[in-house]
Amino acid sequence: MEENTTQPQESKSIEPIKERILSVDVLRGFDMFWIVGGTGFFAAILKLFGGKVEQTLLPQLDHVEWEGFHFYDLIFPLFVFIIGMSVVFSLQKIIATKGKKAAYNRIIRRTILLFLLGLIYYGGMNKGFHNIRLGGVLQRLALCYFFAGVLFIHFQWRGLVVAFTALLLVYWAWLSFIPVPGLGHTSFAMGENWANWIDGHYLPLHKWHGTWDNQGILSTFPAVASALLGVFASLLLRNKDVPEIKKVYYFIGGGIVLVILGYLWGLQFPIIKRIWTSSYVLVAGGYSAILLGVLYLILDVWKIQKWSIMFVWIGMNPITIYMGRNFLDFDNLARRFVGGELQTCCGEKFGYLLLTTVSLALTLVVVRFLFKRKIFIKL
């Protein structure tokens, strides 16, 4: 990992890195915000309202059990979308100046480091060799970065569109028309579909769960398609021939089209995050593009930026804070400040809000410290 200490100080216009696209950093920070404490904080607020507000909105802060789509089901594919964007930012110049071999060196190094961090995040050797989790969030990000990077090295945008389409259609056809062994027919049900069957038979070191992994073997391929959507987004962002406002139209308009197509496809091929169905790719990718378009309009076109500094702090050190919260329990640390009798006297709902607020505040203190000291740890 590299510690980048060349960035300028925080300024009124919030431009932490020269020539960076601020909306990308804020999008990354927005995504991480929900992982590092934002979900608990807003869940606590919704509990204060109670009634229909809580019943309607609180489920959106948790994953759908199987079929369907909640807001929280966007968090992971949004990061895959962003990792796809990073493929262009990290490789385009290298390919142009140093060639494909140097690009491959970058891809392989970053993939290995990210995959190893994923193994450490899920316990490494702590529970024994046979309980190592090979599938996981960081491991999937690593594989998506690798395959999207390889495709980006060898294909222009038309070839990438073909690869994107093929990944979605082949996965759809496999799960929709080929009977699952031992079942005798096709199925999208939990534990009875092709993605789960392949994990159960061929995923190495999978004894930790017994059968299958949410980030298993077969579902990695449509996840690569999610990363390719990020590649397309970056190619558009870096296209100087397209006016900024037209980029906004393309992101928001294209995102709406993807969401509609995804929900329509979902009538036959259900939207299921845990096996990353093709319809899920389109819905999540569409929402990701819409978010990027809105942020790009506000931050990079209209230059309304001061409100976004908190997300910049988080977005500049996503892996650091993600790993940090794994080793340092901010919720437990918050209890040392506002737990026990202090939390009890506030009542159940206000006590929970107090706890989540302090936990989130401690996280923000850490990321702000790193930002102010110009410490940006990258793979």
Q: How does pLDDT run across 250-271, given as a tens digit for each residue?
A: 999 999 999 999 999 999 999 9
**What are the backbone dihedrals phi and psi of residue 11, each rounded to the nearest 5 degrees, phi first?**
-125, 175
Q: In Å, how far are 48, 49, 52, 96, 257 from 55, measured between CA atoms?
A: 12, 10, 5, 53, 29
For residue 110, the cross-strand partners are: none
Tokens encoding 249: 């139209």
- Name the more confident of 10 and 137: 137
- Segment among 10-19, 82-91, 173-182, 241-250 with least mean pLDDT: 10-19
What does the alpha-carbon distance between residue 162 and residue 146 come to, in Å, rounded to a whole number? 18
The model scores a pTM over 0.85: yes
Res. 323: pLDDT tops 90: no
Indicate the burial class of 263 (C-beta count within 10 angstroms; 0-12, 13-18, 19 or more).
middle
Q: How many domains, the chain?
A: 1
Find the domain containing 185 and state its range.
2-378
For residue 2, the cross-strand partners are: 378
Task: Tell me the average pLDDT across 203-209.
Answer: 64
